[in-house]
A and B are shown apart, each in its own frame.
Chain A
Amino acid sequence: MLGYQNKVLRIDLSKKTAKTEPLRMDWAEKYIGSKGLTIKYLYEELKPGIDPLSEDNKLIFMTGPMTGTTVPCSGKLSVAGKSPATGTICDCSIGGHAALRIKYAGYDAIIIEGALNKPGYLLIEDDNISFEDGSELWGKGCHETEAILIDKYDHDYSVLTIGPAGETLSGMACITSDYYRQAGRGGMGSVMGSKNLKAVVVKGTGKVEIPNIVDAVKRIAEIEREDTLLEDNTFVFDLGTTAFLEACQDGGILPYKNFSDTTDENWTEYNGDVLMEKLAGKRGCGSCGLGCGNFLKIGDAICEGPEYETIAAFGPNAGNRDPEAIVKANQVADDMGLDTISAGDVLNWAMEMTEKGIYDFGIHFGEMDKYIEYLKMMAKGEGIGKELAMGVKKLAEKYGGSDFAMHVKGLEYPQYEPRGSWGMSLAYAVSDRGACHMRAYAPNEEVFAASIPPYTPEGKGELVFNLAQFNAVKFSLCICDFWATLSMDTMAELMTLVTGKEWTADDMAEVGTRVINIARAFNQREGFTAKDDTAPKRIFNDALKNGPAAGQKIPEEAFEDMKQQYYAVMGWNADGTLPDSLIATL
């Protein structure tokens, strides 16, 4: 198949060797690329039970067949390994330009093994690979590190770097690129940190071959005009994800004070229209015509974003309504290399712990100056921050408060309250990397829709399956979530255009299901079972008090019903395991 470079760069940091090998095209035919293919590699290459922060773990940067082509929104890069936060498989998707440069350097993937014996960074310039000293960079924030490296090399290079959070091996450490783009969830930054790898710097000057290039590019341009640059998608250029704030408020899924309730009477003070008045610049990723990136500047604080997740985590869920504090906290978390969702949930839980008198973490709701200092301490592993960097699951095991420790399998909750979107509780529970909104975005169908009831288990298994299957394909193609009008048919046509092999919508759906299954098989091999597909007790026990979902809590039997529906649609056993017959197909 064309579209691929048919080459993997395998780096052994312990031996400081760099070798190339052919991409497993037999696997690519079953898993395509990006999310799916990287999980397949990890499933085959990682021994069960390894310590995610040991030399045994691998870190994979995986592109897809569309990376580096003119296919719209195809600039995403998968970053994956075994998660130190959860012990599950974990793949993240990072925007910017790094994916294109890896592909232009001649590689479909970079597989990083072993560990350096002292801090360093990897320099990739097409075929030339070198291991550079990074001792001067260690301890620096993501922004300064990237600035130093871009100054040393050039703007033709991409930098993937970690901040202090990755160096201190926090389970909420990101990998950052283009200053404000993150592979955010599950602690991939600490996997990189455990390898003493401060950064990967890459430049590529090659090309990607696709069949019948003149006709293919013409057709891709038509698809972009007819299907991508539609107003259904271009809203992200105007407002980005700040547009979600008001919809989540009205939809009753905007979390408030560590998910103790939903909706905030002060929401207009940090709504999208208020934030966008502070617009200071815009940009997009490589191969993207939507350009969702908004730089906001309020006072001395500036960041790309904040995205909805961060607005909610550092805003109402933290008892804060000051937009400047949201932007400042975003800026600090990004520089420190901290996932804003997980870091926010941890601090919001700590504030509730303090206010309930269970344990005094020295911080109360709305204390944003302290909040921002705590973010720095968490990343650097200093003082109380070292404790908080453990993540909310381990913290609750040590200090109590597990009923309102908002996580699944150790990954903290995204900022969509599931009591107002019952399907989301299922999506969080069965996601392959713990609580994640990117695997199946249920509110889109059951809250942001005119006639579907959100407060029922009925049909939610199939709903979540359909969403998860679709996203598993989309992310295996390295296409961004913001191309919302994309269909299986269009994905199949694009695959045919770039690979030269005929693909159908049914083929794509089959890949999607297979990707979900192999991720599940990885986790099953690590000991995860149906009992780990769960939700915090708060979701079952405490009814919401405000908003359209007031009075809602999810009965445990309804939750179990949704799980069984999902397992049945997937063809899994009632205990959530994959039958041997299904494992044999992977």
Chain B
Amino acid sequence: MKIKILLRGTLTKYFEGDKERIAEIPDSCTAEEALKLVGIDWTKIDNFGFVAINGMRAMIYDKLKDGDELKAYSKISGG
């Protein structure tokens, strides 16, 4: 299935500065698995923040559907 992956903050370096990319992923892929397929292993990124699916905060292990928009943020702090 096809999804759109958007990166925010310092994570854009994983797309060579681009903010988004279309990705082909297997059915029933989780957010974690989809990110790994495009070279982003969140467990190895100290400043990884959170993910949102279709504009809604989600857990990293939530499953994706065809056409979903997966957004990954670097850590945010301050206030």
Binding site for B on A (CB under 8 A): 231-232, 235-236, 241, 243-244, 246-247, 249-252, 308-309, 414, 416, 437-438, 441, 444, 447-451, 453, 481-482, 484, 547-548
- Chain A residues lying within 8 Å of B48, measured Cβ to Cβ, are 450
Nearest residue (CB) in B for A263 is B55
Which listed residue (B10, B42, B46, B76) contacts A247, Cβ 8 A? Answer: B76
- In whole Å, how far is B40's beta carbon from the nearest beta carbon of chain A? 11
The CA-CA distance from A232 to B48 in the complex, in Å, is 10
CB of B50 within 8 A of CB of A232, answer no
The CA-CA distance from A447 to B58 in the complex, in Å, is 9
CB of A232 within 8 A of CB of B57, answer no
- In whole Å, how far is A310's beta carbon from the nearest beta carbon of chain B? 13
Instruction: Please tell me the size bucket of the interface on B.
Output: 20 to 34
- Chain B residues lying within 8 Å of A438, measured Cβ to Cβ, are 79
Which listed residue (A414, A448, A481) contacts B75, Cβ 8 A? Answer: A448
CB of A481 within 8 A of CB of B79, answer yes
Q: Known A447-B50, A449-B50, A450-B48; judge A250-B79 contact (CB<8 A).
A: no
CB of B50 within 8 A of CB of A448, answer yes
Nearest residue (CB) in B for A246 is B8
Q: Known A252-B56, A548-B56, A548-B57; judge A448-B73 contact (CB<8 A).
A: yes
CB of B8 within 8 A of CB of A247, answer yes
Q: Known A450-B42, A482-B78; judge A249-B50 contact (CB<8 A).
A: no
Which listed residue (A241, A447, A481) contacts B57, Cβ 8 A? Answer: A447
CB of B76 within 8 A of CB of A249, answer no
Interface string of B42-66 (1 = CB under 8 A from A): 1000111111100111111100000
CB of B58 within 8 A of CB of A448, answer no
Q: Known A414-B79, A481-B79; judge A249-B55 contact (CB<8 A).
A: yes
New A-B contacts (15) at CB < 8 Å, excluding given A251-B50, A481-B77 = A231-B74, A232-B46, A232-B75, A243-B8, A247-B8, A247-B50, A250-B55, A250-B56, A441-B79, A444-B76, A448-B75, A450-B42, A450-B48, A450-B60, A451-B59
Which listed residue (A414, A441, A451) contacts B78, Cβ 8 A? Answer: A441
Q: Known A243-B9, A251-B50; judge A450-B59 contact (CB<8 A).
A: yes
- Chain B residues lying within 8 Å of A246, measured Cβ to Cβ, are 8
- In whole Å, how far is A432's beta carbon from the nearest beta carbon of chain B? 16
Nearest residue (CB) in B for A232 is B47
CB of A548 within 8 A of CB of B76, answer no
The CA-CA distance from A451 to B30 in the complex, in Å, is 13
- Chain A residues lying within 8 Å of B57, measured Cβ to Cβ, are 250-252, 447, 548
The CA-CA distance from A564 to B67 in the complex, in Å, is 45
The CA-CA distance from A537 to B74 in the complex, in Å, is 34
Nearest residue (CB) in A for B31 is A450
- Chain B residues lying within 8 Å of A308, measured Cβ to Cβ, are 79
Q: Known A447-B50, A451-B60; judge A250-B75 contact (CB<8 A).
A: no
The CA-CA distance from A243 to B76 in the complex, in Å, is 8
- In whole Å, how far is A582's beta carbon from the nearest beta carbon of chain B? 28
CB of A236 within 8 A of CB of B78, answer yes
The CA-CA distance from A244 to B79 in the complex, in Å, is 8
Q: Known A235-B10, A250-B71, A449-B50; judge A547-B79 contact (CB<8 A).
A: no
- Chain B residues lying within 8 Å of A441, measured Cβ to Cβ, are 77-79
